[in-house]
Chain A
Amino acid sequence: MSMKFTTREVSGVTIVDLSGKITLGEGGLTLREEVRSLVTAGSKKILLNLAGVNYIDSSGLGELVSAFTAVKNAGGELKLLNLTSKVRDLLVITKLLTVFDVRDDEAAAVASFA
């Protein structure tokens, strides 16, 4: 199954609910393209809810990083919410957990944006 996006707004924060796989070659819009389109549309506070992401590979990790830098370069913030154990494990291994602001509670995550 390829990745699916659902976007919603909560208190000025754009929450992207992701599900499926974040990998190379799964087709459809890539994560970085989705996030860049949100930034272009004016979103500067983006929260990626990864609760439904049960699979990620090195390309998917690259997509997360590229999305992060795209938002940061536009003067915004991108944070992660609800990591599954598989995603968290890879973020730990690659030390990317030190890069991302990772949250487990949606309300607190929304409130954490400046």
Chain B
Amino acid sequence: MGGVTGYTPLREGVNLTDSTSNRSSMTLESELSSVEPVETRAEQLARDAGFDEDTASQIAMISREAVINAILHGNKKDPAKQVRVSFELNDDALRITIADQGGGLDPDAVPDPCAPENILRGSGRGIFLMRAIMDEVHFHQLNPGTEIELVKHRVHKEPQA
């Protein structure tokens, strides 16, 4: 089984269209086997939120990117460090936060992967994809570590007459 050491499940049977905020969280070991449970949970919540299949798949992929970054670049696979992932689904948005215990990240220092001098690089597209696919991406510096907050706004359909 993967590296999930703590998991607070969503409350079952909650009406996701009411104003109640639904939250869950996971505490993960700094190993790649930790990634899949996050991806699975993110995709399920995205579907619950009403996103179409492609968007739900992209949200899951972006969550995966963020967790991989936290494990490899944040915690540098240090077994003494963990990754904390929180999910919140409310009326307005799906919010996923991923926090590592690493040395910190300056998102502005990441080169633009679309620039001609970088376009043929074999890496460096993860944060760019987060910003392109999610509606909001926020970086919070922790002490120690970095928290990435990923937000996708829900699309509310007009009620039928």
Chain A residues near B (Cβ < 8 Å): 23-25, 32, 55, 57-59, 61-63, 65-66, 68-69, 85-86, 89-90, 93-96, 98-99
Contact = CB atoms under 8 A, between A and B. Distances in A.
B122 A85 contact: no
A33 B32 CA distance: 21
15 contacts: A24-B32, A25-B32, A25-B68, A55-B57, A58-B123, A61-B125, A63-B122, A65-B122, A86-B58, A89-B58, A94-B113, A94-B125, A94-B132, A95-B119, A99-B120
Nearest to A69: B120
B70 to A, nearest CB: 13
B114 A55 contact: no
Given A68-B120, A93-B129, A57 B65 contact: yes
Interface residues of B, number: 23
Give 4 nearest A-B pairs by CB, closest first: A58-B125, A62-B122, A66-B122, A25-B32
A96 B54 contact: no
A90 B129 contact: yes
B123 A59 contact: yes
Contacts of A65: 119-122
A62 B125 CA distance: 8
A85 B58 CA distance: 12
B126 interface: yes
A98 B119 CA distance: 10
Contacts of B133: 93
A86 B54 contact: yes
Given A25-B32, A94-B125, A99 B119 contact: yes
Contacts of B120: 65, 68-69, 99
Given A62-B122, A99-B120, A94 B68 contact: no
Given A25-B35, A57-B65, A86-B54, A94 B114 contact: yes
